[in-house]
Chain A
Amino acid sequence: MMDQPANSSPSNTGAPPEVSPAAAWLDTGSDHALREMHAYMRLTREWDLRYEKMFKTGALSKWYSSVGNEAATVAAASAIEKGDALVSLHRDAGAILRHYVNIETLIPEIFPSNMNLIRQPLGGDSRERLFRLACQMLGRQHGYSAGHERSYHYNHMEPEHGLIHIGMISHLGSMIPVAAGAALSFQQQKSDRVAINFIGEGATSTGDFHEGLNIASVWKLPFILIIENNHWAFSTPTSQQYACDNLASRAIGYGMAGVEVDGNDPIAMHQVMQEAVQRARSGEGPTLVEAHVGRHRGHSEGDDSLDQVPGDELRGYLENDPMDLIETRMVNSGIVSRAWLEEIREKCAALIMEVVDEAMSMPEPEPNSDRSIHAE
């Protein structure tokens, strides 16, 4: 059942994969597709750069960066819809922002008026979601966990808008069965909704990876597990993490579809995800997607784990920055100008600055050691 890899990759050598051209299926709408991917990728990049800066100035105690993962995550979340479940990790700001906000309402005229959108945004107040997300990052009362949980360790549900988002716990791999359980709930309800979950390549070594995928495949759950393989788990390279050629082929052992894709190419990634989502919606079971991305940052900011990445390898990742790649592609294709890209960057940065400043000014939670451990 192994699908043809969307892009061949050297996998376990640690070298970044080559970049494939925009997929042919999007030839008529590729301008629009690139613009849509780019808008959310840029918003995500500015989101991270803002917190990274705050970390450096001591305004934030900890930060896990999504820089380098924007193409994979934005493209993945572009393939889901209202009512689908997103189960994210700590490098998935791209998927969260893509799922939460309608960027057109935040930055008017970011798209041409005749734009054919890849996915419809969820209804509801995008600005409020972005603001609460910033409060969540900063441990404020208005954050989704009211200051009780850090950064991406929260859930957010808006049933009226079909927003289902389950966040992570620190134990990597643990959310795989939980996300498969979200898919089970859809199957029980005889709905055609799907659940997607992101993990790093390190979590593929856990027991929950095996148990979760095995049950998901036996029960044909509408579940897609995306491995964001950045080739380094904290300071451990893939050569010390697994001995197989690639992780997508592990799908064979579970009797499910497995696809390897260049996660720096949002168009290729989106195509793979669309196929996987279609497979899940039509009852054909789960898909394992291995998306190769680059290691651009340490495990967390300031932990010097990036020192372990050999210089040549790191340079390769930085030279294949998905943000640069998509912008170069857009300029070279004559879709937009460098000046326009700079204008959009400034608008995204200004929006993030405004929202984060507003969140910073919000109150911290009051002491409440009696917060309930049980639902009443």
Chain B
Amino acid sequence: MPNEMTIEENVLYIEALSHALRDEMRHDPSVMLMGQDIAGHGGAFKITKGFLDEFGPQRVRNTPIAESGTIGIATGAAILGQRPVIEMQFADFISCGFNQLVNVAAKMYWRTECSVPLVIRMPGGGGMGAGAFHSQNVESWFLHSPGLKVVAPAFSDDAYRLLRSAIKDPNPVIYFEHKFLYRRERTDLKGTEIGDRVVGEANVRRSGQHLTSISWGWMTHRVLEAAEIMAAEGIEIEVIDLPVLSPLDLDPILQSIEKTEHVAITHEATRTCGFGAELAARISDEAIWNLDGPVRRITYPDSPSPFNKKLEADRIPSVDVICDGWRQALQS
């Protein structure tokens, strides 16, 4: 089947995900979907609405509530040539399938040289008052597990392109899609070429000479907003978005720091051992002599997500908090 690409203007993030899944399923008959309520119902967020009719019950499978069993079964099928894409109903639920992911799927290639072409879609992130078990940003759990690739796109075009690449990739890919962006973010899908591997990407989304900002997912949008405010004050922020967290493309970050001599990492995940800590360590290793101040982290506190939206908003880095963090970084 041809490798058709959706080309469309002003596409919602959630539609980009649907398009990517549908296009890749049309292209490759070994792609199959598994997840809770994804078949007739189309999934908790309706991303696979209509897929059952088009692709049939063999390829679009509702699973029982069994994250571990589902990931294990998908891993076994992937070893023998299927390309399963699992939808976690919420990223938080991955903890119930943790062992299958970090010990069976992640280590399989290193142990046995059998590849596991598996994608786990992870609707994650907060901002909707969904409480402690429907709001988390758990990318660090998987960045610490050798063998997994980790994707966290902020824009519809990246979401489309990277989901298709993730499905083509012969390795297990943890694909974080941000629920807050589902129906808010819109970008054109221009038919850019789809890679058949997920590789490290660090994309400069705004140029500036005073401070390098690193972020991913929803936070990149807040960072871009904050950069506008800073520009009005005469401070130009270089915004680097990481649609792929692992493998990490560090070079563009180091090159930017060479120019700006200041760096701040913004993430929605909790602080301790968040990916910001690893980025800070890498930057220290490689570029500490280029820095004119400490590496700043602007993050969620070490706290679960509260239900009340005001309480939650108080914890997620806001545009103001990000601007303040940058100002402190530039003062030091």
Residues of A within 8 A of B (CB): 85, 87, 144-145, 148-149, 153-155, 157, 164, 166-167, 169, 171, 174-189, 195, 207-208, 210-212, 214-216, 218-219, 371-375
- Which chain B residues border A181 with CB–CB below 8 Å? 72-80
From B32, B64, B79, contact of A211 by CB (8 A): B64
Q: Is B68 an interface residue (CB 8 A)?
A: yes
The residue on A at minimum CB distance from B29 is A188
Say if the beta carbon of B111 comes within 8 Å of chain A: yes
> Which one of A87, A144, A178 has the highest number of Cβ atoms from chain B below 10 Å of its Cβ?
A178
Give the docked Cα–Cα distance between A208 and B103 (Å): 14
Known A153-B111, A164-B80; judge A178-B64 contact (CB<8 A). no
Q: Digitize B109-121: 1 where CB-to-A-CB distance is under 8 Å, 0 elsewhere.
A: 1111111100000
Q: Are B72 and A178 in contact (CB under 8 A)?
A: yes
**Pick the contact of B171 from A187, A210, A216, A375 — CB < 8 Å?**
A375
In the complex, the answer to whether B111 meets A145 with C-beta atoms within 8 Å is yes
Measured between C-beta atoms, what is the minimum distance from B18 to chain A in Å?
Answer: 22
Task: Tell me if B104 and A185 are in contact (CB < 8 A).
Answer: no
Q: Are B66 and A185 in contact (CB under 8 A)?
A: no
B331 located at the interface, meaning its Cβ lies under 8 Å from any Cβ of chain A in the complex: no
Residues of B within 8 A of A177 (CB): 68-73, 75-76, 100
From A171, A212, A375, give the contact of B69 (CB < 8 A). Answer: A212
Q: Are B64 and A185 in contact (CB under 8 A)?
A: no
B221 contacts the other chain (CB 8 A): no
Interface size class on chain B is: 35 or more
B76 to A, closest residue via Cβ: A181
Q: What is the 8 Å Cβ interface bit string for chain B, positions 46-85, against chain A (1 contact, 0 not)?
A: 0000000000001101011010111111111111111000
Contact A179 B64 (CB under 8 A): no
Chain B interface residues (CB < 8 Å from chain A): 30, 32, 58-59, 61, 63-64, 66, 68-82, 99-100, 103-104, 107-116, 146-147, 149, 170-171
Is the Cβ of B81 less than 8 Å from the Cβ of A214?
no
Q: Give which listed residue, B70, B76, B81, B109, contacts A166 with CB less than 8 A.
A: B76
Q: How distant is the Cα of A145 from the Cα of B107 in the complex, in angstroms?
A: 12
A215 contacts B70, C-beta separation under 8 Å: yes
In the complex, 22 of the A-B residue pairs with CB atoms within 8 angstroms, ordered by the A residue number, are A87-B76, A149-B111, A149-B112, A154-B112, A166-B79, A167-B112, A169-B103, A175-B72, A179-B76, A181-B76, A181-B77, A183-B76, A188-B58, A188-B59, A207-B68, A211-B66, A214-B69, A216-B73, A218-B64, A373-B147, A375-B115, A375-B171
CA–CA, A175 and B58, complex, Å:
23
A212 and B77 CA atoms in complex are apart in Å by 13
Q: 14 new A-B pairs (CB below 8 Å) besides A181-B79, A208-B100?
A: A87-B76, A148-B110, A155-B113, A174-B103, A177-B75, A178-B73, A180-B69, A181-B80, A188-B77, A195-B76, A211-B66, A211-B70, A215-B70, A371-B110
Query: Which B residues are in CB contact (< 8 Å) with A157?
Result: 114
Q: Known: A174-B99, A177-B100. Contact between A211 and B69, CB under 8 A? A: yes
Shortest distance between the CB of A63 and any CB in chain B (Å): 20
- Could you tell me if A178 and B75 are in contact, using CB atoms closer than 8 angstroms? yes
Q: Report the minimal beta-carbon distance from B149 to chain A, rounded to whole angstroms.
A: 7
Residues of B close to A210: CB separation below 8 A = 69
Residues of chain B with a CB closer than 8 A to A176's CB: 72
Closest to B107 in A: A169
Chain B residues contacting A195 (CB-CB under 8 Å) are 76
Q: Interface centre among A85, A174, A195, by most B CB within 10 Å? A: A174
Task: Given A169-B104, A218-B64, verify A375-B77 contact (CB < 8 Å).
Answer: no
Closest B residue by C-beta to A219: B61
A171 x B99 contact (CB < 8 A): yes
CA distance A261 to B4 in the complex (A): 54
Q: Pick the contact of B109: A149, A169, A208, A374 (CB < 8 A).
A: A374
Asked, given contacts A157-B114, A174-B100, A214-B69, whether A373 binds B109 with beta carbons under 8 Å apart, the answer is: yes
User: In the assembly, what is the distance between CA of A149 and CA of B114, in Å?
Assistant: 13
Known contacts A188-B32, A375-B109; A182 and B79 CB within 8 A of each other: yes
User: Which residues in A have their C-beta under 8 angstroms from that of B66?
Assistant: 211, 214-215
Chain A residue, CB-CB nearest to B71: A177
CB of A180 within 8 A of CB of B72, answer yes
Give the distance to chain B from A266, nearest Cβ to Cβ, in Å.
28
Other-chain residue from B32, B64, B111 in contact with A215 (beta carbon distance below 8 A): B64
